[in-house]
A and B are shown apart, each in its own frame.
Chain A
Amino acid sequence: MNKEYNYGFLDEGSKKAIRRALLKAVSIPGYQVPFGSRELPIGRGWGTGGLQITLSILGDDDILKVIDQGSDDSVNAVSIRKFVTACTDVETTTDSEEATVIQSRHRIPETPLRNDQILVLQVPTPEPLRHVEPLESVTRKMHAEMDYSAVWLALYEDIVRVGEIEQGADYPVMVEDRYIMNPSPIPRFDNPKLHMSEALYLFGAGREKKIYAVPPYTKVESLGFEDFPFKIENMEGRKCHLCGAENVFMDEFFDAATGTKMYQCSDSGYCMKRRSEGMNHEE
Chain B
Amino acid sequence: MAYVAVTGGREAVEKSIELLSKYRTGGESQVEIEAIQERMGLLIDRIMSEAGFYAPEYAALALKQSEGSLEEAVFLLRAYRSTLARSWYSKPISTEDMTIHRRISAAFKDIVGGQFLGATYDYTHRLLDFSIMDETQEDVKKIKEKWQSMQEEAEPIKVPRVSDVLREEGVISCGKKEEELEDITLDPITFPAPRSARLQTITRGETGYVNGLAYAGIRGFGQSHPTVGELRTGDVEIIIDYPMAEGEELYVGSIVCTEVESFFSEESQEESQEETNELKLGIGYGLVFGRNDNKAISMSILDYILCSEGDGILNNQEFVLLHGDCLEMSGFISHLKLPHYVTFQSKLDRVRSTAKKEEPEHE
Which residues does A use to contact B, with CB under 8 Å? 5-6, 9-11, 13-14, 17, 34-41, 43-46, 48, 68-71, 73-79, 82, 105-107, 124, 134-137, 162-170, 185-189, 207, 209, 233-234, 249-253, 255-257, 264, 266, 268
Contacts and interface: CB of A to CB of B under 8 A. Distances in A.
Contacts of B84: 11
Contacts of A167: 350
B342 A185 contact: yes
B358 interface: no
Given A79-B13, A168-B349, A106 B342 contact: yes
Given A6-B83, A44-B331, A73 B346 contact: no
Among B81, B187, B327, B349: residue with most chain A CB under 10 A: B349
Contact of A170 (B13, B75, B341, B343): B343
Contact of B13 (A41, A78, A249): A78
B335 interface: yes
Q: Is the interface of B mostly helix, strand, loop or mixed?
A: helix
B343 A78 contact: no
A164 B82 contact: no
B27 interface: no
A233 B12 CA distance: 31
Given A169-B343, A170-B343, A207-B332, A37 B188 contact: yes
B353 A234 contact: yes
Contact of B342 (A11, A187, A209, A253): A187
A235 to B, nearest CB: 9
Given A73-B9, A79-B13, A187 B83 contact: no
Interface string B1-43: 1110011111011000000000000000000000000000000
B190 interface: yes
A209 B328 CA distance: 11
Contacts of B335: 43, 45-46, 124
A222 to B, nearest CB: 13
Contacts of A10: 82-83
Given A10-B82, A162-B354, A168-B349, A268 B6 contact: yes
Contact of B9 (A37, A78, A137, A255): A78
A9 B82 CA distance: 9
A171 to B, nearest CB: 8
Contacts of B186: 17, 36
Contacts of A77: 9
Given A43-B331, A45-B332, A187 B345 contact: yes
Nearest to B2: A256
Contacts of B75: 39, 41, 43
6 contacts: A68-B339, A69-B339, A78-B13, A106-B340, A134-B318, A256-B2
B347 A168 contact: yes
Nearest to B186: A36
A151 B325 CA distance: 29
A277 to B, nearest CB: 20
A264 B3 contact: yes
A251 B348 CA distance: 11
Contacts of A209: 188
Contacts of B191: 135-137
